[in-house]
Chains A and B, each alone.
Chain A
Protein backbone atom coordinates (compact mmCIF):
# COMPACT_ATOMS: atom_id res chain seq x y z
CA UNK A 1 0.00 0.00 0.00
CA UNK A 2 1.23 3.48 -0.87
CA UNK A 3 1.37 6.11 1.81
CA UNK A 4 -1.40 8.68 1.44
CA UNK A 5 0.15 10.83 4.18
CA UNK A 6 3.89 11.07 4.63
CA UNK A 7 5.88 13.36 6.93
CA UNK A 8 9.64 13.56 6.45
CA UNK A 9 12.03 15.15 8.96
CA UNK A 10 9.32 17.47 10.15
CA UNK A 11 10.33 20.11 12.66
CA UNK A 12 7.64 22.26 14.20
CA UNK A 13 7.54 24.75 17.06
CA UNK A 14 4.82 27.26 17.94
CA UNK A 15 5.88 30.83 17.42
CA UNK A 16 7.42 32.27 20.56
CA UNK A 17 7.56 28.87 22.26
CA UNK A 18 10.97 27.77 23.45
CA UNK A 19 10.24 24.07 23.04
CA UNK A 20 9.50 22.43 19.72
CA UNK A 21 6.53 20.13 19.30
CA UNK A 22 8.18 17.93 16.66
CA UNK A 23 11.84 17.44 15.91
CA UNK A 24 12.68 15.23 12.93
CA UNK A 25 9.32 13.53 12.87
CA UNK A 26 8.95 10.78 10.26
CA UNK A 27 5.62 9.10 9.72
CA UNK A 28 3.73 7.55 6.86
CA UNK A 29 0.13 6.42 6.88
CA UNK A 30 -0.97 3.86 4.27
CA UNK A 31 -3.76 4.65 1.82
CA UNK A 32 -7.07 3.24 2.97
CA UNK A 33 -5.91 2.77 6.55
CA UNK A 34 -7.93 3.32 9.71
CA UNK A 35 -5.06 5.00 11.48
CA UNK A 36 -5.25 5.91 15.14
CA UNK A 37 -2.74 8.32 16.65
CA UNK A 38 -2.55 7.26 20.27
CA UNK A 39 -0.79 9.09 23.03
CA UNK A 40 -1.21 11.02 26.27
CA UNK A 41 -2.60 14.57 26.37
CA UNK A 42 -0.28 17.31 25.16
CA UNK A 43 1.86 15.13 22.99
CA UNK A 44 1.23 16.96 19.71
CA UNK A 45 -1.58 14.86 18.25
CA UNK A 46 -3.70 17.87 17.29
CA UNK A 47 -0.67 19.68 15.88
CA UNK A 48 0.02 16.62 13.74
CA UNK A 49 -3.47 16.82 12.24
CA UNK A 50 -2.94 20.56 11.62
CA UNK A 51 0.31 19.83 9.77
CA UNK A 52 -1.41 17.23 7.59
CA UNK A 53 -4.17 19.71 6.80
CA UNK A 54 -1.81 22.60 6.12
CA UNK A 55 -3.41 24.66 8.90
CA UNK A 56 0.10 24.91 10.29
CA UNK A 57 3.32 24.69 8.30
CA UNK A 58 6.47 22.90 9.49
CA UNK A 59 9.60 25.01 9.93
CA UNK A 60 11.64 22.23 8.31
CA UNK A 61 10.80 19.01 6.58
CA UNK A 62 8.15 17.96 4.13
CA UNK A 63 4.55 16.84 4.31
CA UNK A 64 3.23 14.81 1.39
CA UNK A 65 -0.45 14.19 0.78
CA UNK A 66 -1.35 11.63 -1.91
CA UNK A 67 2.19 11.84 -3.25
CA UNK A 68 2.24 15.64 -3.63
CA UNK A 69 3.88 18.18 -1.38
CA UNK A 70 1.18 19.59 0.93
CA UNK A 71 1.98 23.24 0.22
CA UNK A 72 1.42 22.70 -3.52
CA UNK A 73 -2.30 22.26 -2.93
CA UNK A 74 -4.57 25.28 -2.86
CA UNK A 75 -6.86 25.55 0.17
CA UNK A 76 -9.77 24.56 -1.98
CA UNK A 77 -8.00 21.49 -3.38
CA UNK A 78 -6.91 20.49 0.08
CA UNK A 79 -10.46 20.85 1.43
CA UNK A 80 -11.69 18.42 -1.23
CA UNK A 81 -8.97 15.96 -0.25
CA UNK A 82 -9.25 16.00 3.53
CA UNK A 83 -12.08 16.76 5.95
CA UNK A 84 -11.53 17.70 9.59
CA UNK A 85 -13.63 16.95 12.65
CA UNK A 86 -12.07 19.26 15.25
CA UNK A 87 -12.09 18.53 18.94
CA UNK A 88 -14.08 21.61 19.90
CA UNK A 89 -16.57 22.55 17.23
CA UNK A 90 -18.00 25.77 18.66
CA UNK A 91 -21.04 26.87 16.65
CA UNK A 92 -22.07 30.42 17.60
CA UNK A 93 -25.47 30.39 15.89
CA UNK A 94 -28.21 27.84 16.07
CA UNK A 95 -28.06 26.32 12.62
CA UNK A 96 -30.32 23.47 11.63
CA UNK A 97 -28.54 20.14 11.19
CA UNK A 98 -28.96 20.32 7.42
CA UNK A 99 -27.77 23.96 7.18
CA UNK A 100 -24.70 22.99 9.16
CA UNK A 101 -24.00 19.86 7.11
CA UNK A 102 -24.29 21.92 3.92
CA UNK A 103 -21.21 23.88 5.01
CA UNK A 104 -19.27 20.77 4.04
CA UNK A 105 -20.04 21.65 0.42
CA UNK A 106 -18.03 24.89 0.69
CA UNK A 107 -15.03 23.40 -1.18
CA UNK A 108 -17.26 23.06 -4.24
CA UNK A 109 -19.13 26.39 -3.96
CA UNK A 110 -17.62 29.71 -5.09
CA UNK A 111 -17.23 32.50 -2.51
CA UNK A 112 -20.21 34.41 -3.94
CA UNK A 113 -22.34 31.39 -4.85
CA UNK A 114 -25.10 29.50 -3.08
CA UNK A 115 -25.46 25.73 -2.58
CA UNK A 116 -27.42 24.03 -5.34
CA UNK A 117 -30.06 21.32 -5.05
CA UNK A 118 -27.28 18.84 -5.81
CA UNK A 119 -25.31 20.12 -2.79
CA UNK A 120 -28.39 19.70 -0.60
CA UNK A 121 -28.78 16.12 -1.83
CA UNK A 122 -25.13 15.33 -1.08
CA UNK A 123 -25.49 16.81 2.41
CA UNK A 124 -28.62 14.71 3.04
CA UNK A 125 -26.75 11.65 1.76
CA UNK A 126 -23.92 12.39 4.20
CA UNK A 127 -26.45 12.56 7.04
CA UNK A 128 -27.92 9.25 5.87
CA UNK A 129 -24.46 7.68 5.80
CA UNK A 130 -23.95 8.39 9.48
CA UNK A 131 -27.57 7.49 10.26
CA UNK A 132 -28.99 10.84 11.39
CA UNK A 133 -30.91 11.98 8.30
CA UNK A 134 -34.11 12.11 10.36
CA UNK A 135 -32.61 14.97 12.43
CA UNK A 136 -32.05 17.27 9.43
CA UNK A 137 -34.45 20.03 10.39
CA UNK A 138 -33.64 19.94 14.12
CA UNK A 139 -31.51 22.73 15.61
CA UNK A 140 -27.93 21.58 16.10
CA UNK A 141 -28.07 22.68 19.73
CA UNK A 142 -30.92 20.28 20.50
CA UNK A 143 -28.88 17.14 19.72
CA UNK A 144 -27.24 14.80 22.19
CA UNK A 145 -23.44 14.61 22.31
CA UNK A 146 -23.31 11.46 20.19
CA UNK A 147 -25.76 12.75 17.57
CA UNK A 148 -23.89 16.03 17.39
CA UNK A 149 -20.58 14.26 16.80
CA UNK A 150 -22.17 12.20 14.02
CA UNK A 151 -23.51 15.38 12.40
CA UNK A 152 -20.04 16.95 12.52
CA UNK A 153 -18.70 13.83 10.82
CA UNK A 154 -21.46 14.14 8.21
CA UNK A 155 -20.42 17.75 7.60
CA UNK A 156 -16.88 16.55 6.89
CA UNK A 157 -18.24 13.75 4.69
CA UNK A 158 -20.14 16.26 2.59
CA UNK A 159 -16.69 17.43 1.48
CA UNK A 160 -16.37 13.98 -0.17
CA UNK A 161 -12.83 13.72 1.11
CA UNK A 162 -10.34 10.89 0.55
CA UNK A 163 -9.00 11.46 4.05
CA UNK A 164 -11.05 12.04 7.17
CA UNK A 165 -9.13 13.60 10.07
CA UNK A 166 -10.75 13.42 13.50
CA UNK A 167 -9.41 15.02 16.65
CA UNK A 168 -10.48 13.04 19.73
CA UNK A 169 -13.94 12.28 18.30
CA UNK A 170 -14.93 10.05 21.20
CA UNK A 171 -13.46 12.06 24.08
CA UNK A 172 -16.74 13.30 25.57
CA UNK A 173 -19.01 10.39 24.66
CA UNK A 174 -20.50 7.65 26.79
CA UNK A 175 -19.94 3.98 25.91
CA UNK A 176 -22.87 3.47 23.58
CA UNK A 177 -22.33 6.76 21.72
CA UNK A 178 -18.62 6.06 21.49
CA UNK A 179 -19.32 2.73 19.83
CA UNK A 180 -21.92 4.30 17.55
CA UNK A 181 -19.34 6.82 16.30
CA UNK A 182 -16.60 4.21 15.99
CA UNK A 183 -18.93 1.90 14.07
CA UNK A 184 -19.75 4.68 11.58
CA UNK A 185 -16.06 5.45 11.13
CA UNK A 186 -15.21 1.79 10.55
CA UNK A 187 -17.95 1.50 7.93
CA UNK A 188 -16.64 4.62 6.16
CA UNK A 189 -13.16 3.14 6.20
CA UNK A 190 -14.42 -0.13 4.74
CA UNK A 191 -15.89 1.90 1.88
CA UNK A 192 -12.50 3.36 1.05
CA UNK A 193 -12.03 6.54 3.12
CA UNK A 194 -8.70 6.82 4.87
CA UNK A 195 -9.47 7.65 8.50
CA UNK A 196 -6.91 9.32 10.76
CA UNK A 197 -8.14 9.71 14.31
CA UNK A 198 -6.38 10.91 17.43
CA UNK A 199 -7.31 9.58 20.82
CA UNK A 200 -5.89 9.07 24.26
CA UNK A 201 -8.08 6.02 24.76
CA UNK A 202 -6.24 2.78 23.89
CA UNK A 203 -9.42 0.69 24.08
CA UNK A 204 -11.15 2.78 21.41
CA UNK A 205 -7.99 2.67 19.32
CA UNK A 206 -7.67 -1.10 19.56
CA UNK A 207 -11.32 -1.61 18.66
CA UNK A 208 -11.15 0.01 15.24
CA UNK A 209 -7.58 0.70 14.08
CA UNK A 210 -5.72 -1.28 11.48
CA UNK A 211 -2.76 1.07 11.81
CA UNK A 212 -1.65 2.50 15.14
CA UNK A 213 0.82 5.29 15.82
CA UNK A 214 2.05 5.52 19.41
CA UNK A 215 3.25 9.02 20.26
CA UNK A 216 4.85 10.61 23.25
CA UNK A 217 6.43 14.07 23.57
CA UNK A 218 6.28 14.67 19.82
CA UNK A 219 8.03 11.42 18.95
CA UNK A 220 6.68 8.34 17.26
CA UNK A 221 7.39 5.42 19.59
CA UNK A 222 5.99 2.81 17.27
CA UNK A 223 3.78 2.67 14.18
CA UNK A 224 2.24 -0.42 12.66
CA UNK A 225 -0.40 -3.13 12.98
CA UNK A 226 -2.31 -3.13 16.27
CA UNK A 227 -1.23 -6.68 17.11
CA UNK A 228 2.43 -5.64 16.98
CA UNK A 229 2.04 -2.26 18.60
CA UNK A 230 -0.27 -3.07 21.48
CA UNK A 231 2.15 -4.55 23.97
CA UNK A 232 2.28 -3.75 27.66
CA UNK A 233 5.84 -2.56 27.28
CA UNK A 234 5.19 -0.06 24.48
CA UNK A 235 1.97 1.28 25.92
CA UNK A 236 3.68 1.74 29.28
CA UNK A 237 6.42 3.70 27.54
CA UNK A 238 3.79 5.81 25.73
CA UNK A 239 1.78 6.74 28.78
CA UNK A 240 4.59 6.73 31.34
CA UNK A 241 2.57 4.52 33.69
CA UNK A 242 2.34 0.73 33.92
CA UNK A 243 -0.20 -0.52 31.39
CA UNK A 244 -1.56 -4.05 31.21
CA UNK A 245 -2.85 -5.54 27.98
CA UNK A 246 -5.48 -8.28 27.86
CA UNK A 247 -7.04 -10.06 24.92
CA UNK A 248 -10.69 -10.85 25.45
CA UNK A 249 -13.13 -12.10 22.81
CA UNK A 250 -10.77 -10.97 20.04
CA UNK A 251 -10.62 -7.47 21.50
CA UNK A 252 -7.56 -5.87 22.93
CA UNK A 253 -8.06 -4.25 26.32
CA UNK A 254 -5.38 -1.97 27.71
CA UNK A 255 -5.60 -0.32 31.10
CA UNK A 256 -3.57 1.23 33.87
CA UNK A 257 -4.31 -0.81 37.01
CA UNK A 258 -5.37 1.38 39.92
CA UNK A 259 -3.63 0.48 43.11
Chain B
Protein backbone atom coordinates (compact mmCIF):
# COMPACT_ATOMS: atom_id res chain seq x y z
CA UNK B 1 0.00 0.00 0.00
CA UNK B 2 2.79 2.41 0.84
CA UNK B 3 3.80 1.88 -2.78
CA UNK B 4 1.29 4.65 -3.47
CA UNK B 5 3.58 7.10 -1.72
CA UNK B 6 7.09 5.76 -2.23
CA UNK B 7 8.67 9.13 -1.67
CA UNK B 8 6.69 10.20 1.39
CA UNK B 9 9.47 10.00 3.97
CA UNK B 10 12.50 9.09 1.93
CA UNK B 11 12.93 12.37 0.13
CA UNK B 12 13.30 14.29 3.40
CA UNK B 13 15.69 11.69 4.78
CA UNK B 14 17.88 12.22 1.73
CA UNK B 15 17.70 16.01 2.05
CA UNK B 16 18.62 15.77 5.73
CA UNK B 17 21.64 13.61 4.94
CA UNK B 18 22.89 16.11 2.36
CA UNK B 19 22.35 19.04 4.71
CA UNK B 20 23.99 17.30 7.67
CA UNK B 21 27.03 16.40 5.58
CA UNK B 22 27.08 19.97 4.26
CA UNK B 23 26.96 21.47 7.75
CA UNK B 24 29.69 19.17 9.08
CA UNK B 25 31.90 19.94 6.10
CA UNK B 26 31.25 23.64 6.54
CA UNK B 27 32.07 23.44 10.26
CA UNK B 28 35.42 21.84 9.48
CA UNK B 29 36.13 24.32 6.73
CA UNK B 30 35.16 27.25 8.95
CA UNK B 31 37.56 26.18 11.65
CA UNK B 32 40.40 26.15 9.15
CA UNK B 33 39.30 29.18 7.16
CA UNK B 34 40.06 32.64 8.45
CA UNK B 35 42.47 35.49 8.80
CA UNK B 36 45.78 34.20 9.99
CA UNK B 37 47.96 36.83 8.49
CA UNK B 38 45.62 37.23 5.54
CA UNK B 39 42.46 35.28 4.69
CA UNK B 40 43.51 31.72 4.08
CA UNK B 41 42.85 28.10 4.78
CA UNK B 42 45.04 26.50 7.43
CA UNK B 43 46.50 23.26 6.20
CA UNK B 44 46.37 20.28 8.60
CA UNK B 45 50.17 20.22 8.56
CA UNK B 46 50.33 23.87 9.55
CA UNK B 47 47.86 23.21 12.35
CA UNK B 48 49.92 20.27 13.52
CA UNK B 49 53.20 22.18 13.76
CA UNK B 50 52.20 25.74 14.61
CA UNK B 51 51.30 26.18 18.31
CA UNK B 52 49.94 29.68 17.67
CA UNK B 53 47.61 28.35 14.99
CA UNK B 54 46.50 25.63 17.39
CA UNK B 55 45.68 28.20 20.07
CA UNK B 56 43.88 30.36 17.53
CA UNK B 57 41.72 27.47 16.44
CA UNK B 58 41.03 26.08 19.90
CA UNK B 59 40.35 29.27 21.83
CA UNK B 60 38.94 31.59 19.18
CA UNK B 61 37.67 29.88 16.06
CA UNK B 62 36.19 26.69 17.45
CA UNK B 63 33.89 28.29 20.04
CA UNK B 64 32.94 30.97 17.54
CA UNK B 65 32.14 28.52 14.78
CA UNK B 66 30.09 26.34 17.14
CA UNK B 67 28.32 29.44 18.45
CA UNK B 68 27.45 30.57 14.92
CA UNK B 69 25.99 27.15 14.27
CA UNK B 70 23.99 27.21 17.53
CA UNK B 71 22.84 30.77 16.80
CA UNK B 72 21.46 29.82 13.41
CA UNK B 73 19.83 26.68 14.76
CA UNK B 74 18.27 28.50 17.70
CA UNK B 75 16.84 31.33 15.61
CA UNK B 76 15.59 29.00 12.85
CA UNK B 77 13.94 26.56 15.26
CA UNK B 78 12.42 29.40 17.23
CA UNK B 79 11.12 31.09 14.08
CA UNK B 80 9.59 27.84 12.78
CA UNK B 81 7.91 27.21 16.12
CA UNK B 82 6.51 30.71 16.50
CA UNK B 83 5.22 30.76 12.92
CA UNK B 84 3.39 27.50 13.55
CA UNK B 85 1.84 28.32 16.93
CA UNK B 86 0.82 31.82 15.86
CA UNK B 87 -0.41 30.44 12.54
CA UNK B 88 1.39 33.23 10.73
CA UNK B 89 4.35 32.74 8.39
CA UNK B 90 5.60 36.28 8.98
CA UNK B 91 6.31 35.97 12.69
CA UNK B 92 9.99 36.01 13.68
CA UNK B 93 11.76 35.13 16.92
CA UNK B 94 12.44 38.70 17.99
CA UNK B 95 8.82 39.66 18.29
CA UNK B 96 7.14 39.68 21.72
CA UNK B 97 9.83 42.07 22.86
CA UNK B 98 12.65 39.50 22.92
CA UNK B 99 15.16 41.28 20.67
CA UNK B 100 14.48 44.81 21.84
CA UNK B 101 14.39 43.64 25.46
CA UNK B 102 17.78 42.01 25.02
CA UNK B 103 19.14 45.16 23.36
CA UNK B 104 17.89 47.31 26.23
CA UNK B 105 19.44 44.96 28.79
CA UNK B 106 22.76 44.95 26.99
CA UNK B 107 22.73 48.74 26.69
CA UNK B 108 21.99 49.09 30.41
CA UNK B 109 24.85 46.74 31.27
CA UNK B 110 27.26 48.63 29.03
CA UNK B 111 26.24 51.92 30.69
CA UNK B 112 26.52 50.61 34.25
CA UNK B 113 29.16 47.90 34.17
CA UNK B 114 31.16 48.79 31.09
CA UNK B 115 31.99 45.71 29.10
CA UNK B 116 32.07 43.11 31.90
CA UNK B 117 31.12 40.15 29.68
CA UNK B 118 28.66 38.29 31.85
CA UNK B 119 26.92 41.49 32.93
CA UNK B 120 26.00 42.28 29.33
CA UNK B 121 24.89 38.72 28.65
CA UNK B 122 23.02 38.36 31.93
CA UNK B 123 21.10 41.61 31.62
CA UNK B 124 20.35 40.92 27.94
CA UNK B 125 18.88 37.58 28.91
CA UNK B 126 16.96 39.05 31.82
CA UNK B 127 15.39 41.83 29.76
CA UNK B 128 14.62 39.48 26.86
CA UNK B 129 12.64 37.38 29.33
CA UNK B 130 11.07 40.50 30.83
CA UNK B 131 10.02 41.60 27.32
CA UNK B 132 8.10 38.35 26.86
CA UNK B 133 6.51 38.48 30.29
CA UNK B 134 5.42 42.10 29.79
CA UNK B 135 4.05 41.30 26.32
CA UNK B 136 2.14 38.40 27.79
CA UNK B 137 0.71 40.41 30.67
CA UNK B 138 -0.25 43.27 28.39
CA UNK B 139 -1.92 40.85 25.98
CA UNK B 140 -4.11 39.59 28.81
CA UNK B 141 -5.36 43.12 29.39
CA UNK B 142 -6.19 43.96 25.79
CA UNK B 143 -9.94 43.90 25.54
CA UNK B 144 -10.47 42.98 21.92
CA UNK B 145 -9.32 40.54 19.28
CA UNK B 146 -8.24 36.93 19.44
CA UNK B 147 -5.31 35.72 21.53
CA UNK B 148 -2.85 35.79 18.62
CA UNK B 149 -3.72 39.34 17.61
CA UNK B 150 -3.44 40.50 21.23
CA UNK B 151 -0.01 38.91 21.66
CA UNK B 152 1.27 40.40 18.41
CA UNK B 153 -0.04 43.86 19.28
CA UNK B 154 1.40 43.81 22.77
CA UNK B 155 4.70 42.49 21.38
CA UNK B 156 4.86 45.47 19.05
CA UNK B 157 4.08 47.88 21.89
CA UNK B 158 6.61 46.40 24.33
CA UNK B 159 9.29 46.26 21.62
CA UNK B 160 8.69 49.92 20.86
CA UNK B 161 8.98 50.81 24.56
CA UNK B 162 12.31 49.02 24.86
CA UNK B 163 13.48 50.54 21.58
CA UNK B 164 12.76 54.01 22.91
CA UNK B 165 14.58 53.07 26.12
CA UNK B 166 17.59 52.07 24.03
CA UNK B 167 17.28 55.41 22.25
CA UNK B 168 17.45 57.29 25.54
CA UNK B 169 20.45 55.26 26.68
CA UNK B 170 22.24 55.91 23.40
CA UNK B 171 21.53 59.62 23.78
CA UNK B 172 23.03 59.82 27.27
CA UNK B 173 25.84 57.32 26.59
CA UNK B 174 29.44 58.48 26.45
CA UNK B 175 29.99 58.94 22.71
CA UNK B 176 33.59 57.76 22.87
CA UNK B 177 33.39 54.66 25.06
CA UNK B 178 29.84 53.50 25.67
CA UNK B 179 27.98 54.49 22.50
CA UNK B 180 30.14 52.47 20.08
CA UNK B 181 29.75 49.41 22.32
CA UNK B 182 25.95 49.73 22.34
CA UNK B 183 25.77 50.31 18.61
CA UNK B 184 28.09 47.42 17.87
CA UNK B 185 26.14 45.10 20.17
CA UNK B 186 22.94 46.03 18.40
CA UNK B 187 24.45 45.29 15.03
CA UNK B 188 25.11 41.77 16.26
CA UNK B 189 28.25 39.75 16.10
CA UNK B 190 30.18 36.82 17.45
CA UNK B 191 33.57 38.55 17.69
CA UNK B 192 33.67 38.25 21.48
CA UNK B 193 32.69 34.59 21.82
CA UNK B 194 34.68 32.52 24.28
CA UNK B 195 34.21 28.95 25.45
CA UNK B 196 32.80 30.18 28.76
CA UNK B 197 30.17 32.30 26.97
CA UNK B 198 29.22 29.43 24.72
CA UNK B 199 28.98 27.00 27.61
CA UNK B 200 27.01 29.46 29.73
CA UNK B 201 24.07 29.54 27.33
CA UNK B 202 23.90 25.77 26.74
CA UNK B 203 21.78 25.04 29.86
CA UNK B 204 19.01 27.21 28.36
CA UNK B 205 19.58 26.72 24.65
CA UNK B 206 19.87 22.92 24.58
CA UNK B 207 16.71 22.03 26.56
CA UNK B 208 14.73 24.64 24.60
CA UNK B 209 15.88 23.20 21.29
CA UNK B 210 15.20 19.67 22.53
CA UNK B 211 11.60 20.55 23.44
CA UNK B 212 11.05 22.10 20.01
CA UNK B 213 12.69 19.16 18.24
CA UNK B 214 10.59 16.54 19.97
CA UNK B 215 7.36 18.55 19.73
CA UNK B 216 7.84 19.12 16.02
CA UNK B 217 5.05 16.91 14.72
CA UNK B 218 2.75 18.31 17.39
CA UNK B 219 3.43 21.83 16.03
CA UNK B 220 1.39 20.89 12.95
CA UNK B 221 -1.55 20.21 15.22
CA UNK B 222 -1.05 23.51 17.03
CA UNK B 223 -1.13 25.37 13.70
CA UNK B 224 -4.74 24.25 13.24
CA UNK B 225 -7.75 26.20 14.49
CA UNK B 226 -8.88 25.88 18.11
CA UNK B 227 -11.81 23.56 17.41
CA UNK B 228 -9.77 21.19 15.28
CA UNK B 229 -6.82 21.05 17.68
CA UNK B 230 -9.21 20.38 20.55
CA UNK B 231 -11.14 17.72 18.67
CA UNK B 232 -7.84 15.93 17.99
CA UNK B 233 -7.17 15.66 21.71
CA UNK B 234 -4.74 18.58 22.12
CA UNK B 235 -4.82 21.17 24.87
CA UNK B 236 -4.05 24.03 22.46
CA UNK B 237 -3.51 26.82 25.00
CA UNK B 238 -1.25 24.81 27.29
CA UNK B 239 0.73 23.17 24.50
CA UNK B 240 1.22 26.46 22.66
CA UNK B 241 2.49 27.99 25.91
CA UNK B 242 5.09 25.21 26.24
CA UNK B 243 6.22 25.64 22.63
CA UNK B 244 6.30 29.43 23.06
CA UNK B 245 8.45 29.16 26.20
CA UNK B 246 10.89 26.87 24.39
CA UNK B 247 11.09 29.17 21.35
CA UNK B 248 11.66 32.27 23.48
CA UNK B 249 14.22 30.42 25.61
CA UNK B 250 16.22 29.39 22.55
CA UNK B 251 16.13 32.91 21.10
CA UNK B 252 16.96 34.70 24.34
CA UNK B 253 19.88 32.35 25.00
CA UNK B 254 21.60 32.90 21.66
CA UNK B 255 20.71 36.59 21.31
CA UNK B 256 22.15 37.31 24.78
CA UNK B 257 25.65 36.61 23.43
CA UNK B 258 25.28 37.47 19.75
CA UNK B 259 23.38 40.74 19.92
CA UNK B 260 20.55 41.45 17.51
CA UNK B 261 20.82 39.10 14.53
CA UNK B 262 17.79 39.56 12.32
CA UNK B 263 16.17 37.70 9.45
CA UNK B 264 17.59 34.24 10.18
CA UNK B 265 14.47 33.21 12.10
CA UNK B 266 12.19 34.52 9.39
CA UNK B 267 13.86 33.41 6.19
CA UNK B 268 15.25 30.00 7.16
CA UNK B 269 11.88 28.45 8.15
CA UNK B 270 10.50 29.64 4.81
CA UNK B 271 13.34 28.07 2.86
CA UNK B 272 12.97 24.86 4.87
CA UNK B 273 9.25 24.66 4.11
CA UNK B 274 10.06 25.28 0.48
CA UNK B 275 12.41 22.31 0.45
CA UNK B 276 10.73 19.84 2.81
CA UNK B 277 7.08 20.91 2.77
CA UNK B 278 4.98 22.47 5.53
CA UNK B 279 4.92 19.41 7.80
CA UNK B 280 7.14 20.47 10.69
CA UNK B 281 8.16 16.88 11.36
CA UNK B 282 10.19 17.13 8.17
CA UNK B 283 10.78 20.87 7.79
CA UNK B 284 12.01 21.58 11.33
CA UNK B 285 15.13 19.38 11.14
CA UNK B 286 15.80 20.90 7.72
CA UNK B 287 15.38 24.38 9.23
CA UNK B 288 17.80 23.53 12.06
CA UNK B 289 20.52 22.43 9.64
CA UNK B 290 19.90 25.27 7.20
CA UNK B 291 19.92 27.78 10.06
CA UNK B 292 23.31 26.48 11.15
CA UNK B 293 24.65 26.68 7.61
CA UNK B 294 23.21 30.15 6.97
CA UNK B 295 24.61 31.68 10.16
CA UNK B 296 27.94 29.97 9.69
CA UNK B 297 28.32 31.26 6.13
CA UNK B 298 27.35 34.79 7.21
CA UNK B 299 29.75 34.71 10.15
CA UNK B 300 32.59 33.39 7.98
CA UNK B 301 32.08 36.31 5.62
CA UNK B 302 31.79 38.69 8.58
CA UNK B 303 35.15 37.71 10.03
CA UNK B 304 37.20 37.21 6.88
CA UNK B 305 35.97 39.43 4.05
CA UNK B 306 37.56 42.62 5.36
CA UNK B 307 40.48 43.19 7.66
CA UNK B 308 38.01 44.52 10.21
CA UNK B 309 34.95 42.67 11.48
CA UNK B 310 31.69 43.23 9.57
CA UNK B 311 28.70 43.20 11.99
CA UNK B 312 26.97 39.85 11.64
CA UNK B 313 23.45 41.26 11.96
CA UNK B 314 24.11 43.48 8.96
CA UNK B 315 25.12 40.50 6.84
CA UNK B 316 22.22 38.27 7.90
CA UNK B 317 19.84 41.11 7.07
CA UNK B 318 21.50 41.66 3.70
CA UNK B 319 21.54 37.98 2.70
CA UNK B 320 18.20 37.28 4.39
CA UNK B 321 16.34 40.12 2.73
CA UNK B 322 17.93 39.25 -0.61
CA UNK B 323 16.80 35.63 -0.34
CA UNK B 324 13.39 36.76 0.84
CA UNK B 325 12.92 38.94 -2.22
CA UNK B 326 14.08 36.06 -4.40
CA UNK B 327 11.64 33.65 -2.76
CA UNK B 328 8.74 36.08 -2.92
CA UNK B 329 9.12 36.78 -6.60
CA UNK B 330 9.21 33.09 -7.52
CA UNK B 331 6.10 30.92 -7.17
CA UNK B 332 5.61 30.13 -3.50
CA UNK B 333 2.30 28.71 -2.35
CA UNK B 334 3.08 29.02 1.36
CA UNK B 335 3.06 32.80 1.41
CA UNK B 336 -0.52 32.82 0.20
CA UNK B 337 -1.93 32.77 3.73
CA UNK B 338 0.21 35.69 4.83
CA UNK B 339 -1.61 38.13 2.59
A residues touching B (Cβ–Cβ < 8 Å)?
50, 53, 55, 75-76, 78-80, 82-84, 86, 88-96, 98-99, 103-104, 106-107, 109, 111-115, 117, 120-121, 124-125, 133, 136-137, 139, 141-142, 156, 159, 165
Judge whether B225 and A90 touch: CB under 8 Å.
Answer: yes
- Produce 1/0 per residue, B213-231, CB < 8 A to A: 0110110110111011011
5 A–B pairs (Cβ distance < 8 Å), ordered by A: A55-B231, A95-B220, A98-B8, A107-B233, A120-B5
Cβ–Cβ contact A103 & B2, under 8 A: no
Taking A93-B273, A99-B279, A104-B232 as contacts, is the C-beta distance between A86 and B217 under 8 angstroms?
Answer: no
How far does the Cβ of B289 sit from chain A's closest Cβ, in whole Å? Answer: 18
Interface size class, chain B: 35 or more
Q: Is the pair A120, B2 in contact by a Cβ cutoff of 8 Å?
A: yes
Chain B residue numbers with a CB within 8 Å of A78 are 233
Choose from A75, A94, A120 the contact partner of B333 (Cβ within 8 Å): A94
Is A92 a contact partner of B88 (Cβ separation < 8 A)?
yes
Known: A137-B5, A139-B333. A94 touches B227 (CB 8 A): no
Tell whether, in the assembled complex, residue B333 and residue A79 are in contact, meaning their CB atoms are under 8 Å apart.
no
CB of B1 closer than 8 Å to a CB of A: yes
Does B178 sit at the interface, judged by CB under 8 A?
Answer: no
Q: How far is the CA of A78 from the CA of B217 in the complex (A)?
A: 21
Q: Which residues of A contact B4 (CB under 8 A)?
A: 124, 133, 136
Q: Which residues of A contact B228 (CB under 8 A)?
A: 84, 86, 89, 103
**A117 close to B225 (CB less than 8 A):** no
Q: Is B234 an interface residue (CB 8 A)?
A: yes
User: Which residues of chain B have C-beta atoms less than 8 A from A159's C-beta?
Assistant: 232
Q: Does B244 touch A at the CB level, under 8 Å?
A: no
A166 and B153 alpha carbons, distance in the complex (Å): 34
A113 to B2, CA, bound (A): 21
B278 CB within 8 Å of chain A: yes
> Would you call B337 an interface residue if the criterion is a C-beta within 8 Å of the partner chain's C-beta atoms?
yes
Closest to B279 in A: A99
Bound Cα distance A108, B111 (Å):
54
Residue B197 at the chain A interface, CB threshold 8 Å:
no
Contact status B336-A94, CB under 8 Å: yes
Closest CB in chain A relative to B157 CB, distance in Å: 24
Chain B, Cβ-Cβ closest to A76: B233
* Residues in B whose Cβ lies below 8 Å from that of A107: 232-233
Q: Is the CB of B227 within 8 A of A93?
A: no
B277 within 8 A of A: yes
Minimal beta-carbon separation of B229 from chain A (angstroms): 9
Is there contact, CB below 8 Å, between A88 and B225?
Answer: yes
Near A by CB (< 8 A), chain B positions 313-339 give 333-334, 336-337
Cβ of A111 and Cβ of B281 under 8 Å apart? no
Are A103 and B88 in contact, with the CB atoms below 8 A?
no
Beta-carbon contact of A53 and B281 below 8 Å: no
Measured between beta carbons, the chain B residues less than 8 angstroms from A114 are 217, 281
Indicate if the CB atoms of B233 and A79 lie closer than 8 Å: yes
Given A89-B225, A107-B232, A124-B1, 15 more A-B residue pairs with CB atoms under 8 Å apart are: A75-B230, A76-B233, A83-B231, A84-B231, A90-B225, A93-B223, A94-B334, A96-B278, A106-B234, A109-B217, A114-B281, A133-B4, A137-B8, A139-B333, A141-B336
